[in-house]
Every structure is written in structure tokens, then in C-alpha cells.
Amino acid sequence: DAKTTQPTSMDCAEGRAANLPCNHSTISGNEYVYWYRQIHSQGPQYIIHGLKNNETNEMASLIITEDRKSSTLILPHATLRDTAVYYCIVRKGYSTLTFGKGTMLLVSP
């Protein structure tokens, strides 16, 4: 599976959009981009995934660049409860998920 690169930490003001970047320059054509988040001492929570088109669900939006070498997770109106570690993962087929250290997002009042 392709490797991903994420910033170690980010800050966001409550109510503003949080834009979390992820680089995956070695992604191959059949690999999906997944996003999870983990609130302290809990199990990770699935957020969203996509292949090449932009995706949106009730939690977030996923923007994948045309060359698929990077993506951005957007939380449109961040709340304090969105404070968590966010993991960007690239995966193909039925291969297992490989978690890096992710981005620690701190949402402040």
C-alpha cells in the first residue's frame, strides 16, 4: 500500500472549517483513500473514503486532486468534539489498514 504523509498537528477555531491535508504521491490506480479519526482512548472511527471523485457525507467532505497524489479532509464547521487524531490511509482491495501517526487536530473555543 502507498505511504501517506500528514502534518503532526493542526489547530482550528470552533465553528470554522478544518482542512486536513494528506500526501500520497505513490498511490496506484486501484488504491482508495480512507480517513479515520481517534478520540483519546477510544477506538478509531471511520469518516469517509474515496477513489478519485470528491465525496461528501454527514461527517465530512473528501477532496482528491486530479492526479490523486494528495487529498484534503474537510470538516465544514468544527466543534470541540472534533478534537482527535485524524488518520489518512491508502488501501487497495482487501489488504489491511496501515495506520501512521496521523494529525492531531485541536479545536479551540
Q: To the nearest whole angstrom, how small is the minimum distance from the Cβ of residue 103 to another protein?
A: 11
Separation of first and last alpha carbons in the chain: 38
The answer to whether residue 102 forms part of the interface with another protein (CB under 8 A) is yes
User: Considering only residues 41, 58, 67, 109, which one is a binding residue for another protein as defined by CB under 8 A?
Assistant: 41
Nearer to another protein, 70 or 102 (CB): 102
Nearest of 44, 71, 45, 69 to residue 59 by alpha carbon: 45
Cell 472549517 appears where? 17
Which ranges of 19-97 does DSSP label H, i.e. alpha helix? Answer: none
Q: Give 3-state DSSP helix, strand, coil % of the chain, rounded to 5.
A: 5, 50, 50
What binding mask, one character per residue, do residues 42-81 give for another protein by CB under 8 A, x or -?
xxxxx--x-x------------------------------
- The three cell numbers of residue 7 are 502534518
Nearer to another protein, 21 or 44 (CB): 44
Residues in the site for another protein, rule: CB under 8 A?
A: 32, 34, 36, 41-46, 49, 51, 87, 93-94, 96-102
